[in-house]
Homo-oligomer: A and B are copies of this chain.
Amino acid sequence: MESIPERVFDKLAEKNIKPSFHRIKVLEYLMVNKNHPTVEQIYSSLKKLFPTLSKATIYNSLNLFVEKGLVQPITIEETEIRYDSTVESHGHFKCECCRKIYDFGIDIDSIPSSGLDNFIIYSKEIYYRGICRNCADVKSSQRS
């Protein structure tokens, strides 16, 4: 099993992205923090380690990663984009109560669809919204 720093280098090399210091740190952050962080979250975390960091660098890096298919943007929020370094098939669930975004298992490619004959499909995203188990538990215990 490769370590994360090793996998960061491999992923960047695989997509022909020059492994600059900041790009490495941004991708590493995404691979360690699987909680679908926003630009602001990535920026404020890395800023503590590297005080000269600019927010534009986060945007530059992420936009490059998305363009190259290394990272998936999650548009489940209306206000800001979240990012996920896992591009394999899975869904995202947003709890309307605690606002947390959960991954869940789903095999998107096994789902039959109609009306897309001769369409070329690059990516598929599945978003569910509702109340997560934790919040549902709290609510039901409050009720009793």
Which residues of A are interface residues toward B (Cβ below 8 A)?
73, 75-78, 81, 91, 93, 96, 102-107, 110-133, 136-137
Contacts and interface: CB of A to CB of B under 8 A. Distances in A.
Given A105-B113, A113-B105, A96 B119 contact: no
Given A133-B119, A136-B119, A124 B114 contact: no
A105 B111 CA distance: 11
Contact of A115 (B75, B102, B112, B115): B102
B115 A133 contact: no
Contact of A81 (B78, B91, B119, B131): B78
Contact of A130 (B91, B106, B120): B120
